Amino acid sequence: MSANSRFMEIGEAVKIANRNLYILKHDVGRDRALLPFVIPLRYPVLMRYTGRPFHEYLEIREYEVIRGLRRVFKNVTGYANILVDEVLVEISFGLEYPETLLDSHNVFGYRHNAIITEPEFHVILKLKPAVERWREEDVLKYLHEYLKLALDLRIARYHDKRKMKGYLERELRGVSLGEVTWRLERSLRAVKEMGSNYYRGASYTLIKARKSLDEIIEDVLAIVKDVVDG
């Protein structure tokens, strides 16, 4: 059941001509690197703390419509001024990735299932290109990419480290586990020393309120060490 259907079912819906919040958008920026095996898409989702105001995202200028939608959001989610952000969704073709069943509930109170790539394997897919294609002379050039990688790798704390080590050993080409730790440490230490200007950006407002850049780097290095040590 879609969120739009749920709104209509409980009598909380506002019709907007030529507007649809729940659509998939082709992520052209990631297309070149991933196709033909993966189609990168973006899926708009309702958020509380990140994203754009819903009326800006939908380009709604009619005050009565905005007010009606605020009432709907307040009644259904508890918040009137909902934001819209986009989540990356990648659909693979021809690649046999390990899968698991995701059973979840969302803010609208309904449940849905989806078959997704196993989280432990997805973590390794994030890490793999950063260490396989690593060159010391490129570290400064890609400081911001390494910062984003560090933030992504924090999720490894909550997954099975033995599984991740197994996938790492299986997927790496020409790089030992010791080199993984060494290369990543060289890159993230550089982020710690010279990447603070990126971390000051608006994209990191929420995490900055909780953790310094130094803390994030040290946490991630410890997590990766735990994975490699198994």
Q: Model confidence over 38-58: pLDDT tens digits?
A: 777 777 888 888 889 999 988
Kindly report which listed range (18-32, 60-74, 171-185, 192-206) carries the lowest average pLDDT score.
Answer: 18-32
Evaluate the CA torsion angle 221, 98, 131, 206 in order and state its sign. negative
Q: Are 200 and 138 in contact, with CB atoms under 8 Å apart? A: no
**Would you list the domain boundaries of the chain?**
3-117, 119-229
Q: Model confidence over 71-115: pLDDT tens digits?
A: 988 888 888 998 988 887 777 766 778 888 888 776 556 677 777
What residues contact residue 175 under an 8 Å CB cut-off, 6+ apart? 131, 132, 183
Q: Specify whether the backbone of 18 is left (phi greater than 0), alpha (psi in -120 to 50) or beta.
A: left
For the chain, give the mean pLDDT. Answer: 82
pLDDT at 2 over 80: no
The predicted pLDDT at position 21 comes to 47
Whole-prediction pTM value?
0.67
